[in-house]
A and B are shown apart, each in its own frame.
Chain A
Amino acid sequence: MELVVATSLGGLTAAGIYLILRLRAFPVILGLTLLSYAVNVFVFATGRLTVGLPPVLSDGASAYTDPLPQALVLTAIVISFGMTAVLVLIALGAFLEAGDDRVNIEDETKTTGENDA
Chain B
Amino acid sequence: MNHWIIAPVVLPAMLAPLIAYVMRHDITLQRATSILGAVLLVAVATGLFLLSADGSVHVYRLGDWPAPFGIVLVLDRLSALLILLTSVLGLIVLIHASASGWDRRGRHFHALMMFQLMGICGAFLTGDAFNLFVLFEILLIASYGLTIHSGGKARLQSGLQYVIMNLAGSTLFLIALGTLYATTGTLNIADLSVKVREIPVEDAALVRVAAMLLMIVFAVKAALFPVQFWLPGTYANAPAPVAALFAIMTKVGAYAILRMHTIVFGPDAAAIGTLSQDWLMPAALITIAIGGFGVMGARRLMPLIAFAVLGSTGTLMLAVSAFTPYAAQAALYYLLHSTFAAAALFLFADLLLTKRESGDLLRAAPATVQNGLLASLFFVGAIGIAGMPPLSGFLGKLLVLDALRSADYTWLVWTVVLAGSLLTIVGFVRAGSLLFWKSTSPALAGPMEPESEEEAPPPEARLGPMLVAPTMAMLIMLALLTVFAGPVSRHMEATAGQLFDPGAYIDAVLVDQPDTKDLSAHGEEH
Contact = CB atoms under 8 A, between A and B. Distances in A.
A46 B179 contact: yes
Interface in A64-78: 68-69, 72, 75-76
Given A32-B171, A43-B178, 14 more contacts: A35-B168, A39-B174, A42-B178, A79-B137, A86-B141, A86-B145, A90-B156, A90-B159, A93-B151, A93-B156, A97-B156, A105-B158, A109-B299, A116-B361
Given A46-B181, A97-B152, A113-B299, A105 B157 contact: yes
Most B CB within 10 A of own CB, among A28, A39, A90, A113: A90
Contacts of B24: none
Contacts of B182: 46-47
A72 B130 contact: yes
A7 interface: no
Contact of A39 (B156, B159, B160, B178): B178
Given A83-B141, A113-B299, A105 B171 contact: no
Contacts of B159: 90, 94
A110 B177 CA distance: 42
A107 B361 CA distance: 14
Task: In the A-B complex, list the 6 residue pairs whose CB atoms are closest, starting with the nearest.
Answer: A46-B182, A94-B156, A97-B153, A46-B178, A43-B178, A39-B174
Contacts of B130: 72, 75
Interface string A38-50: 0100110111000
Most B CB within 10 A of own CB, among A87, A91, A94, A108: A94
- Chain B contact residues: helix, strand, loop or mixed: helix
Contacts of B174: 39, 42-43, 76
Nearest to A117: B363
Contacts, number: 99
Given A39-B171, A109-B299, A116-B363, A90 B179 contact: no
- Chain A contact residues: helix, strand, loop or mixed: helix
Given A94-B157, A113-B299, A86 B164 contact: no
B233 A32 contact: no
A39 B179 CA distance: 11
Contact of B164 (A42, A82, A87): A87
B175 A42 contact: yes
Contacts of B363: 116
A32 B172 CA distance: 11
